[in-house]
Amino acid sequence: MKNNLIGDVEDRLVRYLSETYPGRVHDKHICDGEELVFPPDIGLFQDTGFQGYHPAGVHIYQPKKKPKGKELTPEEKAENTIISSIRILIEHIPTTSFDFPLCMPSCIRHDYLSIGLLCNVPQLL
């Protein structure tokens, strides 16, 4: 079982928690089905499980996958490190959010879309 979570890095708050889905359901498919609406011009830090998910008006930051039979360039590795250092802040929000433990029994695995570090993000609709 898993849920998708959207967290606000600035306020350290969970802004959205999806319904609980079976583990075999693809992360991007969950987002497509939930029809999320984002404020314009925010940064969305997402892991590679959301490959191809690009809502309109949103800046996507996603680690680059290693090309088959090749290596990432030093620049791509450095960019991945920066993206990962921001995403880890989102991954820690559920452990620091006061209300989040209330939904933990149904939340076994989480996949993270992360609202950008430098964005002033209002409550999601």
**pLDDT tens for each residue of 56-112:** 888 888 999 898 999 999 999 999 998 888 888 877 776 655 454 444 434 434 444
Mean pLDDT, residues 2-19 taken together: 81
Does 124 fall in a domain? no
Does 122 fall in a domain? no
> Rounded CA gap, 110 and 94, in Å?
10
Domain with 22 in it: 2-115
Does 123 fall in a domain? no
What 3-state DSSP class applies to 28?
helix
Does 97 fall in a domain? yes
Does 93 fall in a domain? yes
Q: Classify each residue of 61-83 as buried b or exposed e, where b means 16 or more C-beta atoms within 10 Å of its C-beta.
A: bbbeeeeeeeeeeeeeeebbeeb
Tokens 């088959």 sit on residue: 68
Beta bridge partners of 44: 60, 115
Does 77 fall in a domain? yes
Q: Whole-model pTM?
A: 0.68
- DSSP conformational letter for 61: E
Does 92 fall in a domain? yes
Name the domain count of the chain. Answer: 1
Helices (H), the chain: 27-34, 74-96
> Rounded CA gap, 50 and 29, in Å?
8
Does 125 fall in a domain? no
